[in-house]
Amino acid sequence: MRSTLQKMIEQWVTRCPKSGRLAGFRGDTRLAKILCPAMGVLAIGWFLFRVVPKPSRAAYPCQRVAAGIGTGFLAYLVGLLLAYTGFRFIYQSLGVHEHWNNATEKKYSRNLGKKDGIEWIAISVE
């Protein structure tokens, strides 16, 4: 039992090459990609569940750790939201979005005789 548990733990952590001590949590595993967001949600829930009824519990060491994990998770979510809205804004402000009529002719709307749109000008480098 112990050896199986140790093998599982070794897959999730990194160790210092000199001392062999635990150096960190590996975030590139499939389990970590599931556990990290779940741990953030649980930390926020635990903090709110314990601190809202009695605010003096916010000074407890376990609550300080939960607050840090939860705050990091919220910062991650805010970063994702800002990146999404920023890229969406940039993408929409780039102008007209068109595709070729087919892969061989590579003509856009102005090349097809329409008044509006973008135009493909082929430049040959010799």
Are 125 and 71 found together in one domain?
A: no
Are 85 and 123 found together in one domain?
A: no
Nearest to 67 by CA among 38, 44, 36, 42: 44
Range of the domain at 125: 97-126
Round to whole Å and give the CA distance between 55 and 5: 38
pLDDT at 2: 66
pTM above 0.85, yes or no: no
Q: pLDDT tens string for the chain (126 positions)? A: 568 888 877 888 888 889 988 888 887 888 788 888 999 999 999 999 999 999 999 999 999 999 999 999 999 999 999 999 998 888 777 765 666 777 777 777 776 777 776 666 777 787
Are 24 and 82 found together in one domain?
A: yes
